[in-house]
Amino acid sequence: MTGQVRVAVTVNGVRHVSDVPARQLLVSYLREDIGLTGTKIGCDTSSCGACTVLLDGESVKSCTIFTAQADGEDITTIEGLASDGELHPVQRAFNEQHALQCGYCTPGMVLALVSLLREQPDADEQEIRRGLEGNLCRCTGYTPIVRAACSITATGGCTGPPETTAVDGQVSSPDGPA
């Protein structure tokens, strides 16, 4: 059919083959076509990170790519992170460190951190804050999110600048957004 493309993707270990609109965004495919609504839409303009998923292990904002561009790829959404009934360590750390309030940013934050800590298991606080620059949270002030990430680094805690360091005005001090 004109304007449709056939796409085969593996999402959370399940293979899907679908005909989708050529210009459909991946976030729409995940939420509307296969019903994985854990991936959120915040801004739809690549600013907030709520739509972050893993594409072959790398975090991507799923509102910035077409479903067709994911053809042949492995995608992990928040629904696919826990395994055998066990939360992923990043999810567990969020729970233990009270790193969420409304939870809207949480799936994207968690997946961004999974990717970051896979690449930099010994990341320090500043590297974690920098790595989360593309993910916005309106509730937590970021401090508990960074604390959660720090709690599971390879060094078992963050070294580096104190928690009050802001990065590009996004990650705030414990007193609120910069």
Contact footprint for ligand FES (CB under 6 A): 41-44, 46-51, 61, 63, 100-106, 137-140
Q: How far is the CB of 141 from ligand FES (least distance, A)?
A: 10
Q: How far is the CB of 2 from ligand FES (least distance, A)?
A: 28
- Of 134 and 160, the one with the shorter C-beta distance to ligand FES is 134
Q: How far is the CB of 48 from ligand FES (least distance, A)?
A: 3
- Of 10 and 101, the one with the shorter C-beta distance to ligand FES is 101
Q: How far is the CB of 17 from ligand FES (least distance, A)?
A: 25
Copy the structure tokens of residue 8.
Answer: 């085969």
* Contact between residue 40 and residue 50 where contact means Cβ atoms under 8 Å apart: yes
* Contact between residue 102 and residue 136 where contact means Cβ atoms under 8 Å apart: no
Which residue(s) pair with 59 in the sheet?
54
- Of 29 and 104, the one with the shorter C-beta distance to ligand FES is 104
The DSSP line for 42-101 is S-SSSSS-TTEEEETTEEEETTSSBGGGGTT-EEE-GGGT-BTTB--HHHHHHHHTT--S
- Of 8 and 102, the one with the shorter C-beta distance to ligand FES is 102
